[in-house]
Chain A
Amino acid sequence: MKVDNIYKEEKKSVFKKVSEVIITMASRPSGFIGLSILVFHIILAFISPYIAPYDFKAVNPTLMLQAPSAEYWFGTDDLGRDVFTRTILGGRTALTITFFGSLIALLWGGLLGIFCGLVGGKIDDIVMRIVDAFLSIPWILAMLLIVSLLGTSTEVLIPALGFFYGKGIVRVARAATHDVIAKDFIVSARARGHSNLSIIWNEIIPNVRDAIFVEGAMRWSWMLLGFSSLSFLGFGVSPPTPDWGLMISNARGLMSFAYWAVIAPIVGLSSLIIGINLTADAFAKALGIDRSTKAPV
Chain B
Amino acid sequence: MLFLIIKRILLGFITLFIVSLITFVGTEILPGDACTTYLERQAFGEQLEACYRRLGLNVPAYERYVSWAVNAIQGDFGYSLSGEMPIKEVLGPRIKNSLVLASAAIFIGIPIALILGIVTALWRDKLPDVAISTVTIFAMTIPEFISATLLILIIAIWLEWLPGVVIVPTDVSFLKLLPNIILPVIAIAMIMTAHMARMVRSSVIQVMASEYVQMAILKGVPYWKMVFKHVLPNALLPAINVVALTIAWLLGGVVVTEVVFNYPGLGRLVIESISNRDLPTVQALAIILASIYVSINLLADLMTLMLNPRLKTLQIRK
Spell out A's residues near B (CB within 8 Å).
30, 128-130, 132-141, 144-145, 148-149, 221, 225-226, 228-229, 232-233, 245, 248-249, 252, 255-256, 259, 262, 266, 269-270, 273-274, 277-278, 290, 292-297
Contacts and interface: CB of A to CB of B under 8 A. Distances in A.
B245 A144 contact: no
A29 B6 CA distance: 49
B15 A252 contact: no
B242 A278 contact: no
15 contacts: A138-B293, A140-B251, A141-B285, A145-B27, A145-B274, A149-B30, A229-B143, A255-B149, A255-B157, A259-B153, A266-B146, A266-B150, A274-B138, A295-B245, A296-B195
Contacts of B195: 295-296
Interface in B270-285: 270-271, 274, 277, 282, 285
Interface stretch (B38-46, B172-180, B252-260): B252-260
B18 A293 contact: no
A266 B150 CA distance: 9
Contacts of A290: 202
Nearest to A34: B137
A18 B203 CA distance: 30
Interface in B142-174: 142-146, 149-150, 152-153, 157
Nearest to B164: A256
Nearest to A135: B293
- 3 nearest A-B pairs in the assembled complex, by CB-CB distance: A295-B245, A133-B18, A292-B202
Given A149-B26, A293-B242, A228 B143 contact: yes
Interface in B61-88: none
A233 B242 contact: no
Contact of A255 (B16, B153, B286): B153
B249 A297 contact: yes
Nearest to B153: A255
| Most interface-central of B146, B256, B282 (chain A CB within 10 A) | B146
Contact of A252 (B149, B206, B252): B149
Interface residues of B, number: 59
Nearest to A133: B18
Contact of A138 (B26, B144, B289, B297): B289
Contacts of A274: 137-138, 141-142
A22 B195 CA distance: 26
A140 B285 contact: no
A140 B149 contact: no
A232 B29 CA distance: 26
Contacts of A278: 137
A149 B26 CA distance: 8
Nearest to B138: A274
A294 B249 CA distance: 12
B238 interface: yes
B19 A133 contact: yes
A293 B293 CA distance: 19
Nearest to B18: A133
A171 to B, nearest CB: 10
Contacts of A292: 198-199, 201-202
Given A292-B199, A293-B199, A269 B143 contact: yes
B246 interface: yes
A172 to B, nearest CB: 14
A212 B174 CA distance: 46
A140 B18 contact: no
Contacts of A294: 242
Contact of B22 (A134, A228, A255, A262): A134
B270 A273 contact: no
Interface string B225-245: 000000000000010011101
B261 to A, nearest CB: 11
Given A140-B251, A252-B149, A274-B142, 13 more contacts: A133-B19, A138-B255, A144-B274, A221-B141, A245-B145, A270-B142, A293-B242, A295-B195, A295-B241, A295-B243, A296-B245, A297-B245, A297-B249
A266 B154 CA distance: 14
A237 to B, nearest CB: 16
Nearest to A171: B318
Contacts of A249: 145
Interface in B1-52: 14-16, 18-19, 22-23, 26-27, 29-31
A232 B146 CA distance: 10
